[in-house]
Each structure stands twice: as structure tokens, then as C-alpha cells.
Amino acid sequence: MTDSPQLHSLAEIRSWLRERVAFYLDQPGESIEPDVPLTDYGMNSIYGVSILGDIEDEFGVEFETIPTWTHPSINHIAKYLESMLASAR
């Protein structure tokens, strides 16, 4: 667990997210296309919240409420996270 936000490149965030999503969906990371909404892969809302917990633990950020993404893709979340980390520094 990280105590304070650190510098992460968009590419790093993206590849970490892709690996987590693949873990929850139980399929290889390379099968997850970064621009396809995660719901298209059958991602349910509970796994979605579990990933938020993973993000908090990995990047040392905190979601006060559940972000109101509609059909987010990997790229979507990665960009959101990048700006969140930037503003937290």
C-alpha cells in the first residue's frame, strides 16, 4: 500500500488497470481492449467497486463517493485517475 500519491505515467496506470480487470474477468490481459467499455466484457458492479478498492490501495488515493462513470473503459478510468493523482500531488 502506498502512503502518498506518487508519480505514475498514463501508460503505467493503464497497464496496471488492464491486469486488474483481466484478473476479475478471469481472462488474459491482452484480450481486454483499452477502449471497449468494461461492461461489454461482462464486468459487474461489485467487481467495479472491488477495483476502486484496489485503486485506492495501489495509488494511495481515496474515492469519497463512487464515481458516476457510465460504461467506462480502461482508457477512461486511466485518464480520470491520472488527473486525480495530478491534483492530489
Partner 1 sequence: MTHNETVNGVQAEYDPAGNVHGNGADATLGDILSARACQHPEREALAFMPDVKSGIIRDRLTYGQLGQHARDVAAGVTALGYRAGQRALLLFPQGLDFAEAFFGCAYAGLIAVPAPPPEGSRASRERLAGLLADAQPALVLTDDATAPAVLSWLSGQPGATGTIPCITASSLAGRAVPRWTPPAVTSGDLALLQYTSGSTAEPKGVMVTHGNLVANLRLAHTFMGRPRTRGCGWLPLTHDMGLIGQFLITIYAGGWCLLLPPLEFAKRPYRWLELMSSYGAAQAIGPNFAYDLCARTVSEERIATLDLSRWTMAINGAEPIDPRTLEGFAKKFAPAGFRPEAFAPCYGLAEATLFVSGTPHDQPPVVTMVDGVQLALGRFVPVEGSGATGAAGAVQARALVSSGTVVAGSVLIVDPRSRHPRGDREVGEIWVTGSSVAKGYWGQPELTEAVFNARTAGGQAGYLRTGDLGVLDGERLYVTGRIKDVIIVRGRNLYPHDLEHAVRDQAGDLRFASTAVFALDGADGGGADGGGAYRDGDIVVVQGLQRSRHEPDELAAAAARIKHHLAQDWGADRASVIFVRASTISKTTSGKIRRVHMRQLFLRAALNPVYESLAPGVSGRLEEMK
Residues that bind partner 1 (CB under 8 A): 23-24, 26-27, 31, 33, 36-37, 39-42, 44-46, 49-50, 52-53, 56-57, 66, 71
The rounded distance, in Å, linking the Cα atoms of 72 and 3 is 27
Helix (H) or strand (E) holding 20, with range, is helix 10-25
What's the alpha-carbon Rg for the chain, to the nearest Å? 12
Identity of the residue, 9 or 62, whose beta carbon is nearer to partner 1 in the bound complex: 62
For residue 42, the minimal CB distance to partner 1 (Å) is 3
For residue 35, the minimal CB distance to partner 1 (Å) is 10
The rounded distance, in Å, linking the Cα atoms of 74 and 33 is 8
For residue 59, the minimal CB distance to partner 1 (Å) is 14
Identity of the residue, 15 or 39, whose beta carbon is nearer to partner 1 in the bound complex: 39
> Nearest 5°: CA angle at 3, between 76 and 26?
45
